[in-house]
Chain A
């Protein structure tokens, strides 16, 4: 994952645009927080004054009532300030958190498929949940407290200096090592807190995989190994957390010990000065009274600094994702999609995955293919030849790295992606069903169409079983719903592509999980619907190829031949090699090309 060094202020600065609308509220919150700590400080003073000044034996009962009233008012004020601080700050802070969360989601959703191949869902999730939570807390609490604490310390030290410059100076000098150590702490803590947050995300990714891959783990009885490697990872996280704590412990040690040591020295010096007559006892007492008040904020510096650094890490991690740009860009002036005829043209298409070595040949190395409007084209090729990749280019899930794909003569990058995708429907090899009803799953890309489209699509895909599910087509399926067999899922996914009634239909091996009988029925019906829809269909079996008007053979990254099935069978060795089955092993034999190469 990309990681660049940014300073604390830079990182926090990035929060500014998000926090800007709530700055006035934060300011009010700060005032209240100051008010509350002022009250907390004032109450003992006022009590002292009241008791000493107004109460004496045989005095006036009214004075007592007056004092009680004053204390009540101050006490209520303290509570009110606390309540107000929360009122001012918390709701707006959650709003900021929420906005950032939603915009992260939107952003991630818009990122390319390649991005998602790289980023584990757990990593993204931890940024969407934990990190933003940390940021919110820092905004609503950490930041304000840091200011309050700093002000309190500043005022405290000033008072101490005024009381006795000599003793105050001792205290002030003691802060030098604290500040110096603070820098070291910052560097160290930043590294461990980053590590801990990253490891947390990776751990979530592991959990996610272990759950999605549960069948494999069970089938091979590898629960133990999975647990072991999870444990290892969790132990690493634990070690990091303990390192983090050690770092915090050291800073707390310094922050609580050094000022106290200074006070010890001040005690000796102070008593000596009083003995010398250079200082009054009153001043000495008042010096230590102030020091006692300052002690708590000084001690809270460590945790607050840690919180701030954690928040910084969270901010960095957030913007790391937000800074990723999608390589699939929208054109500035998208062409309006009028009536596409459905002609699709691959013109010298090159494609290479970003993480493959630059040296080798492109995966798609100059694909040239023209689909006439309404034509059904089968795409065949051996496993790994790039069929699925080529298909995904049509829906612009990836961008070509060279050449172009044109719809009716216009490069598809000149349309908006959403327009393109509304005219291209895909059935993927790996069927993804969403947690919703059969109806919603099938009508996912169907726009306004209703039951009729649903019925037709289910019929074409031979997915009549849907009506027999417990709640018919309203049965919940997908992760949160009923489990279906592989063939059933594939048919729902096929129905979904059909129901979208696209201009261009892209089917990636859509019948692989179907038995021969069902396949035949689907093929039959498909043939009728495909009339008038430009279709590109990946096929491994000759029965599927039979659907197509023409067949394109993909080999070594290029279309090696195009033509009707029978013609290719007669003229193309590679095609024969791919499509002829086991029985004719003797005739098929080795692929001549492969033998040559």
Chain B
């Protein structure tokens, strides 16, 4: 048996038997785990459906009573039975209405509670998963899990309970009536279960594959859609519209084909069940008819049996629909449960070591690192950064500077060796403590839709408006923010499209300023700024840094020079280490870099 887990192999829909069973179990387990907390509501809903079904049955019985008993009684001068029949019917009517309304409400509550629960679970889990995972699993896929997969589940939850319970009840009651009336006919009906079982098995197998394929196709379509919308500027500038559209058309056609396939399967399944039902009616007529000829069965009884038999198969339609949406939802839950099964490679410690008020002493002890199973990026790194030191990391692109920084922020875990903050292994720190102590600002200053103030407040959700403005002022962002149409309350639009990229960097800088961490990491955080703005940021930085540990990655040597210590990284190793002046005085890479930079100066 294969040993895939999580989202691995997610695009494969032709699974071998063992694997197929494995993912289906996983999916059902998830469904079960969603039902468990709402068990009581679930049962209540079932009861409501059952009651409304029972109230429905009462109607015809009362009519029969009215005609068979109340009428003769009335003729005999007693109008009480008629009044009772009328009142009883009205009561049943009210009961049916009220019960129907309440189970619709109950079902919606139930379904929505389960959906909310799952939505949150998926959201929390994706937030928890490590960057390593996110780098491989595209955003479009996560979106597709959260949207179209959950939509499939919702369809099941919306109608599932109702059709299943009312259908099953209806069939059970009818079957019992038939058995009570004539057990031979009852057996005959039971016999029909056999072909139905085969047909269902056939449908189950086929539709499983079809719905899996449909999940894969819809995810692909969504991934492509999201990628286009995210990169729309580049799409336009490089005239990808035509190519994209034809690719999308292909994907949409694939999606359509698999959708049609699954619907067509249902198109055989459903009439198939109806046919089996109708053939059974004919068989009952055949067997019963000859018994009538023999005098073994009364005509009236046969007629009743036939009508019951026909009625017995009526909910089959509903059941088929239920099963169809069940298959669709299960396939969707297979994907969702795969995502939930993923384990974050950067794990929260079981017994975190408390760290309040970190000093900011960072130590790399024989650290080695490689991304996933890629080549070693940092070989044998040993480095001691005392608390309060401002470090500049310089080196060629691709040397491993960002990697080093991301390790300190624990975006990834070291592959071997140890990385400590104030003597505590990062792996032993709780997420909250670590994030309070270490903050990293990257070059890709990502803004969320919302106001400027909200975006800055991300650094410290408890901050007051004054704190926010102070932080913005400190990095020199205040001026431009006030110039925006609604100042701090201006919506920055999707991904901060409303402000220029330099302004975005300023805002994310203010964000870090507000977070006020013990260790601040700036990864080319000022690369899109003009020199005067950068100068302002640096002034702010110098006041901010004070006795903080800082790791600054920058290509402009102006920034580097405010550092206490410079580390030149080359091929993942620290090639030079010293104060800026020391290194400039020497004749290593930094000295050369400095020279090159001086030369390029005006």
Contacts and interface: CB of A to CB of B under 8 A. Distances in A.
B139 interface: yes
B284 to A, nearest CB: 9
A109 B241 CA distance: 7
Contacts of B418: none
Contacts of B347: none
B485 A356 contact: yes
A219 B278 contact: no
Interface string B465-508: 00000000000000010000100000001110111111100101
Nearest to A542: B602
Nearest to A447: B239
B344 to A, nearest CB: 11
A443 to B, nearest CB: 10
A4 interface: no
Given A55-B293, A395-B236, A257 B93 contact: yes
Nearest to B268: A83
B596 A253 contact: no
B112 A241 contact: yes
Given A125-B225, A518-B396, A215 B411 contact: yes
Given A355-B485, A488-B398, A238 B101 contact: no
Given A383-B506, A516-B597, A102 B248 contact: yes
Interface in A73-99: 74-76, 78-80, 82-83, 86-87, 90-91, 94-95, 97-98
Nearest to A50: B285
Nearest to A86: B267
B271 A109 contact: no
B292 interface: yes
A481 to B, nearest CB: 9
B36 interface: no
A381 B530 contact: yes
- Of the candidates A65, A421, A512, the one having the most CB atoms from chain B within 10 angstroms of its own CB is A512
B543 interface: no
B21 interface: no
B93 A211 contact: no
24 contacts: A75-B279, A83-B268, A124-B225, A204-B147, A212-B139, A219-B441, A219-B442, A220-B458, A221-B434, A245-B105, A245-B108, A253-B100, A256-B96, A257-B98, A288-B63, A384-B480, A424-B237, A435-B227, A445-B237, A480-B223, A515-B593, A516-B600, A518-B397, A583-B558
Given A47-B281, A59-B293, A257 B260 contact: no
A357 interface: yes
Nearest to A125: B225
A382 B530 contact: yes
A227 to B, nearest CB: 5
B228 interface: yes
Interface string B528-542: 111111110010000
Given A129-B218, A249-B101, A209 B495 contact: yes
A219 B558 contact: no
A35 interface: no
Interface in B538-597: 538, 555-558, 561, 593, 596-597
B508 A71 contact: no
B193 interface: no
A211 B134 contact: yes
B63 A384 contact: no
Contacts of B74: 271-272, 275
Interface string A189-231: 0000000000010011101111111111111111101110011
Nearest to B115: A238
Nearest to B263: A90
Given A108-B229, A129-B221, A513-B527, 14 more contacts: A95-B256, A97-B256, A98-B252, A98-B253, A113-B236, A124-B229, A221-B436, A264-B89, A272-B82, A275-B74, A355-B485, A388-B500, A579-B531, A582-B558
- Of the candidates B92, B235, B285, B409, the one having the most CB atoms from chain A within 10 angstroms of its own CB is B285
Interface stretch (B173-181, B299-307, B351-359): B299-307
B222 A129 contact: yes
Contact of B290 (A52, A61, A426): A61
Contacts of B494: 116-121, 205, 209
B443 interface: yes
A383 B395 contact: no
Contact of A260 (B96, B271, B306, B441): B96
Interface in B90-122: 90, 92-94, 96-98, 100-102, 104-105, 107-109, 111-113, 115-116, 119-120
A302 B226 CA distance: 36
- Of the candidates B237, B374, B538, the one having the most CB atoms from chain A within 10 angstroms of its own CB is B237
Nearest to A106: B245
B352 to A, nearest CB: 13
Given A215-B444, A383-B502, A483-B371, A55 B302 contact: yes
A516 B593 contact: yes
B249 interface: yes
Interface in B122-159: 123-124, 126-128, 131, 134-135, 138-140, 142-143, 146-148, 151
Interface string B420-440: 000000000001101110011
B51 to A, nearest CB: 14
B146 A204 contact: yes
B27 interface: no
A492 B353 CA distance: 43
A252 B105 CA distance: 11
